[in-house]
Amino acid sequence: MPPADPGPAPLRLGGRTLGRFAIMAVVNRTPDSFFDRGATFGFDAALAAAGRAVAEGADIIDIGGVKAGPGDDVDVAEELRRVVDLVAAVRARHPEVVISVDTWRAEVGEAVAAAGADLLNDTWGGPDPRLAEVAAAHGTGLVCAHAGGLDPRTRPHRVGYRDVVDDVIGHVVAEAERAVALGVPRESVLIDPAHDFGKNTRQSLEITRRLGELTATGWPVLVAVSNKDFIGETLGQPVEKRGVGTMAVLGISAWLGARVFRVHDVAGARRALAAVGALTP
pLDDT digits (tens, 9 = 90+) for 184-238: 999 999 999 999 999 999 999 999 999 999 999 999 999 999 999 999 999 999 9
**Chain length of the chain:** 281
pLDDT the model gives residue 157: 83
Q: Where are the domains of the chain?
A: 12-279
DSSP type of residue 221: B
Q: Which among 93, 96, 91 is positioned nearest to 16, based on CA atoms?
A: 96
Residues in CB range of 178: below 8 A, 6 or more apart = 132
**pLDDT band, residue 65 (cuts 50/70/90):** very high
**pLDDT band, residue 120 (cuts 50/70/90):** very high
Helix (H) or strand (E) holding 101: strand 98-102
What pTM did the predictor assign? 0.95
Q: How far apart are CA 140 and CA 190, in angstroms?
A: 12
Give the 3-state secondary structure of residue 31: coil
**pLDDT band, residue 281 (cuts 50/70/90):** confident
Q: Minimum mean pLDDT among 2-16, 19-33, 73-87, 241-255: which range?
A: 2-16
Q: Does domain 12-279 have CATH number 3.20.20.20?
A: yes
Q: How far apart are CA 256 and CA 226, in angstroms?
A: 17
pLDDT the model gives residue 2: 62
Counts for the chain of helices (H) and strands (E), in that order = 10, 10
Query: Which residues, listed in sequence order, are joined to residue 190 by a DSSP beta bridge?
Result: 143
**pLDDT band, residue 156 (cuts 50/70/90):** confident
**What letter represents residue 40's amino acid?**
T
Mean pLDDT in residue range 267-277: 96
Pick the more confident residue, 8 or 262: 262
CA dist 165 → 6, 152, 154, 170, 215 (Å): 18, 21, 21, 9, 12
Q: How far apart are CA 112 and CA 91, in angstroms?
A: 11
**pLDDT band, residue 6 (cuts 50/70/90):** very low
pLDDT the model gives residue 4: 58
**pLDDT band, residue 269 (cuts 50/70/90):** very high
Mean pLDDT across the chain: 95
pLDDT the model gives residue 1: 63
Mean pLDDT in residue range 138-144: 98
pLDDT the model gives residue 37: 81
